[in-house]
Homo-oligomer: A and B are copies of this chain.
Amino acid sequence: MAATQDEPTNSRRAELLRIAAGLFAEKGFKNTTVRDIADASGIQSGSLYHHFDSKESMVDEILSSFQEELFGSYDEILTSTDDARAKLERAVRVSFEAIDRHRHEVAIFQNEADYLGGFDRFAYLAERNAQSRAVWITLLDDGVRSGVLRSDLDIELTYRFIRDTVWVAVRWYRPGGSLTHSHVADQYLTILLDGIAHA
């Protein structure tokens, strides 16, 4: 996992990571060259290595700091005193919010986790995946137990459907467009909880 630095001379570094994240999200990690990143930053490729060890270090820092923030939000929900349905709704809303605020990071994780996960350095991605599964399964189990959710659900499949549908929205959601993240979350929760069939 990447080291988190303090803030003094940090702004240039952060700016470069922001630019790299946009390119990684748009074109893919392997498909983005250090020259692409340098061009977009207005410097030469060699100069990037004054700031970062390697291209891998860049994506590592992008992903690990994002994950830290996201799982902080999940933990807050799990330890709250809300009922099962409210927790589930909050988890969905927090996820769409993350897409709104960190779409590059989400896209990179969605597209590259499988590939990067093959390297020792990125083993934490698989751990985060397991942690995320644990969060959703807990929420769903609580929902069924408390009678908020139908008891005939295949919990594992339901988890996969929710996870996939929520995160894959990063492919088309654009912050600042005509759709707000909360409208998308509203519509999604309506469909998820009550279905699309006429009652």
Contacts and interface: CB of A to CB of B under 8 A. Distances in A.
Interface of A: 27-28, 30-31, 85, 111, 115, 143, 147-151, 153-154, 157-158, 160-161, 164-165, 168-169, 171-172, 179, 184, 187-188, 191-199
Q: Which of A184, A191, A198 has the most CB of B within 10 A?
A: A191
A113 B137 CA distance: 32
B161 A198 contact: no
| Number of copies of this kind of chain in the complex | 2
B165 A198 contact: no
A31 B160 contact: no
Contacts of A160: 169, 172
A149 B111 CA distance: 33
B196 A150 contact: yes
Given A154-B187, A157-B179, 14 more contacts: A28-B115, A148-B197, A150-B196, A153-B191, A160-B169, A160-B172, A161-B165, A161-B188, A164-B165, A191-B192, A192-B195, A193-B196, A193-B197, A194-B194
A188 B194 CA distance: 13
Contact of A164 (B30, B31, B158, B168): B168
B197 A150 contact: yes
A149 B198 contact: yes
A85 B195 CA distance: 13
A197 B199 CA distance: 13
Contacts of A194: 194-195, 197
Contacts of A199: 150
